[in-house]
Amino acid sequence: MAESVIQVDHLSKMYRLYDNNIDRVKEALNPRKVNLHKEHYALNDINFTVEKGETVGIIGTNGSGKSTLLKIITGVLTPTSGAVNVNGRISALLELGAGFNPDYTGIENVYLNGAMLGFSKQEMDEKLDEILEFADIGDFVNQPVKTYSSGMFVRLAFAVAINIEPEVLIVDEALSVGDIFFQAKCFRKFEEFKKENKTILFVSHDLGSINKYCDRVILLNSGNVVKEGKPKEIIDIYKKILVNQYDEDADVENDEQEQDENISQEIINENDTQEWKTQFNINPNVVEYGDKKGEIVDFCIMDSNGVITNSVEKGKDFYVKMRIQFHGDIYEPIFAYTIKDRMGTELAGTNTLYEDIPVGEKHDGDMVEVTFKQRMNLHGGEYLISFGCTSYEQMDFVVYHRLYDACNITVISSKNSVGYFDLNSQITIK
């Protein structure tokens, strides 16, 4: 029989919200007990169990209650109602360095944090070398932490928290601290914890990490548990919530293979009368130019399930769509899109000219809908998409409309390799 390590039973956390501080005082002093506040439930009747050796992810939009939940589990906050039972020593990576004294040296803060976690000086003596090796901040350990850079500060805080041999590890976005080499070290430690069959509760916006490391995922929204289950299933629902397309009553499991066979036509017909760009995140500061003789009036990204989203899975098909309104006659307009990294380097892209797709002549008042279907082979990460409508007029290249960095796209991946693209290598060893 599985052993429960974390039990959350009918947990709620309510905050009283006042329009101003005067109302707070008036309510406290009013003999008639008049309510001048609004009740806001950061968590509302939450129930779940985490078994020994499980890695459970918690995802949700900002304000869904994730951090509040972790703070209650770790004892930082007190619930309004309900209970939490934890069996085992917890190491919580919530607010790194929250217990550090800025006037103490790095080593003094190591011992201070150890004492706060219930370790004796002798026990911390035995762990000191391992902590300092993991932090790798050199002689700065003998300097006051107020002289540290932010990177050195979180490295030391992380090293202390993760090297105290916890039975339960609770992580809130902490694996993204420091530079890329330190992050790799953190993830290796995370994988060691999993191999040692330790229990992990993991909160992150990095859906690739959630998909790769978690055995089960709990989805929160507005303080409520929407659903829990396998990572892929819950991530798909989360993406729908992000674009306000999740209908709980219509949440039924579909056969993925059958869905893939029919998805192309569904994609073409879906949301014909809706404005796509209002249904997902776009860049409010998009750079655009052109005479708009051919104007890009709408655009979106769709995943393999036909959901308008900013997140797609590596190795799956996805769709880039745009609508162009013509304000003049154009012969053979060219429709294009490109994908760039955060630094602006163009990584991939195509257009109707490269793909040898005849467009023909378009006239004033025409509306065209263009769909690019392709497989996502980029590694997990954040990218930017740009759109364009151009052509050649008497051998001169003309830009009618370009939208630079119009929206972002997050690639969810459980496996990356060197560079930007996956070569999908098949390796044979004899």
Q: Which CATH class is domain 4-242?
A: alpha beta
User: Does the pLDDT of residue 273 top 60, yes or no?
Assistant: no
Q: Look up the pTM and report it.
A: 0.68
* pLDDT confidence of residue 177: 59
pLDDT digits (tens, 9 = 90+) for 63-76: 899 989 998 998 88
pLDDT (average), residues 232-239: 86
pLDDT digits (tens, 9 = 90+) for 361-414: 999 999 999 999 999 999 888 899 999 999 999 889 999 999 999 999 989 887
CATH entry 1.10.3720.10 includes domain 274-412: no
pLDDT (average), residues 422-427: 83
pLDDT category at 260 given cuts 50, 70, 90 is: very low
pLDDT (average), residues 18-25: 84
pLDDT category at 17 given cuts 50, 70, 90 is: confident
* pLDDT confidence of residue 255: 43
pLDDT digits (tens, 9 = 90+) for 97-107: 566 888 999 99
* pLDDT confidence of residue 258: 42
Name the percent of the chain lying above pLDDT 90.
45
Q: Where are the domains of the chain?
A: 4-242, 274-412
pLDDT digits (tens, 9 = 90+) for 319-341: 999 999 999 999 999 999 999 98
User: Does the pLDDT of residue 283 top 70, yes or no?
Assistant: yes
* pLDDT confidence of residue 180: 62
For all residues of the chain together, what is the average pLDDT? 85
Which range among 32-46, 143-157, 253-267, 302-316 shows the weakest confidence by mean pLDDT? 253-267
* pLDDT confidence of residue 105: 94
Higher pLDDT, 270 or 233: 233
* pLDDT confidence of residue 154: 78
- 3-state SS of the chain? CCCEEEEEEEEEEEEEECCCHHHHHHHHHCCCCCCCCEEEEEEEEEEEEEECCCEEEEECCCCCCHHHHHHHHCCCCCCCEEEEEECCCEEEECCCCCCCCCCCEHHHHHHHHHHHCCCCHHHHHHHHHHHHHHHCCHHHHHCEHHHCCHHHHHHHHHHHHHCCCCCEEEEECHHHCCCHHHHHHHHHHHHHHHHCCCEEEEECCCHHHHHHHCCEEEEEECCEEEEEECHHHHHHHHHHHHCCCCCHHHCCCCCHHHHHHHHHHHHHHCCCCCCHHHHCCCCCCCEEECCCCEEEEEEEEECCCCCECCEEECCCEEEEEEEEEECCCEECCEEEEEEECCCCCEEEEEECCCCCCCCCEECCCCEEEEEEEEECCECCEEEEEEEEEEEEECCEEEEEEEEEEEEEEEEECCCCCCCCECCCCCCCCC
pLDDT (average), residues 129-138: 89
